[in-house]
Amino acid sequence: MTEKATRLIQLTPTRQDVRIAWLAALAISLHILESAVPMPLPGIKPGLANIVTLFTLLRYGLSEAIWVSVIRVLAGSLIIGSFLTPTFFLSLAGMSASIGMLALFYHSPLKPGPIGYSLVAAQAHISGQFLTAYFLFIPHPGMWNLLPFLLSFAIVLGVLNGIITRSLLRRLQ
């Protein structure tokens, strides 16, 4: 029997499994913290859990970043009680869009660094959430007036999260 088959039969977690669990737990904690803090404007959150995703992507790779993100959205929504609510679908859409764009850049010859990845992810995240909100929940033409404002905030928060991620990566090297 191969080592992988033996491991599957034994259900022994690998070092990678444990790392994903720890990183996902950190991301879930930040996700819950953000949901408890009132924000001055609806739809605007710092995206602190996304720092964990970016860190994971740049330190351990795309596969682990995807796992951390998916676990964060699913477990976080179950813990805060938003599973299958509009909030859950907005979070899922934002995560899916940002992971999709991160994957494109991760496999491209362009390597934008933590700030560039964070900007791409933030723009994709807010765009995915906006389109989901528009097409599923509020199909009003006035919604489009909010998009430039939301994208502007995503730039600011993307740069800040990228700087934090870059700092974490440098400290841990």
Per-domain residue ranges of the chain: 11-171
Cα distance between residue 81 and residue 88, in whole Å: 9
The pLDDT of residue 46 is above 90: no
Q: Three-state SS string across 100-129, please?
A: HHHHHHHCCCCCCHHHHHHHHHHHHHHHHH
HSE value, Cβ hemisphere, 13 Å, CA-based, for 78: 7
Check whether 15 has a pLDDT greater than 90: no
Within 8 A by CB and 6+ apart from 72, the residues are 24, 27, 28, 31, 49, 52, 53, 95
- DSSP code of residue 14: P
Domain 11-171 class in CATH: mainly alpha
| pLDDT band, very low/low/confident/very high, at 3 (cuts 50, 70, 90) | low
The mean pLDDT of 100-107, rounded to a whole number, is: 94
Task: Pick 5 or 148 by higher pLDDT.
Answer: 148
Q: Residue 25 has what pLDDT?
A: 94
Q: How far apart are CA 48 and CA 42, in angstroms?
A: 16
In this model, does residue 9 exceed pLDDT 70? no
Q: Per-residue pLDDT averaged across 129-137, rounded? A: 93
Q: Which residue has the higher pLDDT, 103 or 12?
A: 103
- Categorize the per-residue pLDDT at 76 as very low, low, confident or very high, splitting at 50, 70 and 90: very high
| Coil, strand or helix at 42 | coil
Asked if 125 and 95 count as a contact pair (C-beta separation under 8 A), the reply is yes
Please tell me whether residue 79 adopts helix, strand or coil conformation.
Answer: helix
For residue 124, the model assigns a pLDDT of 97
For the chain, what percent of residues have pLDDT higher than 70? Answer: 92
Q: Residue 102: pLDDT above 60?
A: yes
What number is the average pLDDT over the span 100-125? 93
Residue 9: how many other CB atoms lie within 10 Å: 9
Q: What is the mean pLDDT of the segment spanning 74-93?
A: 92
113, pLDDT greater than 80: yes
